[in-house]
Amino acid sequence: MRPLQSKRVAVGLAAASCVVAALAVVPKAAAHQVAPSVPGQSFTQRELLTALKYPPPLADPQAAGSVATRRQSIPLAFGLSAVLPGAGQFYNGHWIKASAAAALEAGIVVAWASWWSQGHSGRDEYQATAHQYWSPVRYALWLNDYVTYLNSKPGAVPVSVDPITIDERVRSVNLSDPAGWTHAEQLAVRRLILQIRSIETQVYHSATGARFSHQLPFFGEQQYYELVGKYFQFAPGWSDYHYLIINGQASWIDDSGQFIDSIDPEEAAPDGSKAHVSARFFAYAEAHGTANDHLRRASRMTLVLVANHLVAAIEAAIGAKLHNDRLQARLSLYDTEPMLTMRVTF
């Protein structure tokens, strides 16, 4: 035999010996992984090699079914927290986030309910105050006298309007109980306000010459309750505004035909305040403002409530997505098929 051939045969025999030695070790390792609890069971060489090449995972991440090992539904997590903040976080297994979101939701709801209740209670109170103490009839009587006052001022622009006629039906209306008005009484009050409006468009402030900027809204409208406690032109309608009783009705002209000082509600005192505007006007304005502040806060809390639902829903969806990404990364480890190779170079 030639020396080169002898060398190749020797190398081949050495490689074969290594393979045989490796196969001698395989059964123990393979048996330990494949069937350690089945004594007496034998495996073929191919089965053992397959077991080494594709080892079974230590645990099936999908089989356990716990929050940590199952995929989360992103739409479900989003929808749960959109309905009830914290529910999606609870579904994701984030207990602290769920508690925080639920506590924030409860705080927002409590704040909204408190301000909503205070606002509506205050609104009912100031409306009842306006019904009881502010009279469109008294305001109409003042407008009649105020037109006479403007026309009496030397060099003033004359106001040519017909005086307001006070229907006896309106005089008998119980303004403090509008819910009990008959249809005829409602129409009578509406006609009175229409007459008031026709004069308001013609009269002006005696000191500045500026026309009245606002007209009396119809009884019961939201603006009705706002304007009577906001603009001084409506101050004479309040019950504690200074006036006289002449022939059984309010008057700002005395028996001698002279105008009393309170004929002009815009007249300023030395300190710059309105000299004749009554305390009830200011108290009503404050109560009206406080009630509206509470209602505005409740409205803002509604926006905060919606924002909290949206933020919690987005956070829950992101949490579910991150969970799925981490789970997929772990599963990819089990999907890898490692193969041991041996390279012999001569």
Total number of residues shown for the chain? 346
Per residue in 201-232, pLDDT (tens digit) is: 999 998 888 999 899 999 999 999 999 999 99
Tokens of 279: 């305390």
Buried b or exposed e, range 166-197, using 16+ CB within 10 angstroms: bbeebeebebeeeeebeeebeebbeebbebbe
Of residues 336, 334, 346, the one with CA closest to residue 60 = 334
Q: Which of 288 and 275 is assigned the larger pLDDT?
A: 288
Integer Cα distance of 187 and 170 in angstroms? 9
How far, in Å, CA of 241 to CA of 243, rounded? 6
The answer to whether the beta carbons of residues 151 and 158 sit under 8 Å apart is yes
pLDDT of 140: 96
Q: Which residues are CB-neighbours of 329 under 8 A, at least 6 positions away?
A: none
Q: Which amino acid makes up residue 292?
A: N
Does residue 338 surpass a pLDDT of 80? Answer: no
Of residues 334, 319, 315, 327, the one with CA closest to residue 68: 327
Of 234, 241, 190, nearest to 214 by C-alpha is 234
Mean pLDDT of the chain: 82
Q: Which of 108-112, 156-160, 241-245, 337-341 has the lowest mean pLDDT?
A: 337-341
217, 227 contact by CB (below 8 A): yes
Token pair in block for residue 22: 């490796």
Q: Where are the domains of the chain?
A: 3-56, 138-237
Res 28 pLDDT > 80: no
For residues 136 and 142, what is the distance between their CA atoms, to the nearest angstrom?
A: 10
For tokens 């077991």, what's the residue?
51
Rg of the chain, C-alpha, whole Å: 45
pLDDT over threshold 60, residue 280:
yes
Is the confidence at residue 299, as pLDDT, over 50? yes
pLDDT at 168: 85
**Helices (H) and strands (E) in the chain — how many of each?**
10, 2
Q: Quote the pLDDT of residue 334.
A: 57
> Among residues of the chain, what percentage have pLDDT more than 70?
76
Convert the pLDDT of each residue in 102-139 to its tens digit.
Answer: 999 999 999 999 999 999 999 999 999 999 999 999 99
| Whole-number pLDDT of residue 255 | 92
pLDDT greater at residue 102 or residue 27: 102
Residue 157 pLDDT grade (very low, low, confident, very high; cuts 50, 70, 90): confident
Q: Residue 42 — pLDDT band, cuts 50, 70, 90?
A: low
pLDDT, mean of residues 163-169: 89
Residues with Cβ within 8 Å of 105's Cβ and at least 6 positions away in sequence, in order, are: 84, 85, 86, 305, 308, 309, 312
For residue range 301-313, list pLDDT tens digits in order: 999 999 999 999 9
- Residue 109's CB is within 10 A of a number of other CB atoms, namely 13
Integer Cα distance of 92 and 73 in angstroms? 9
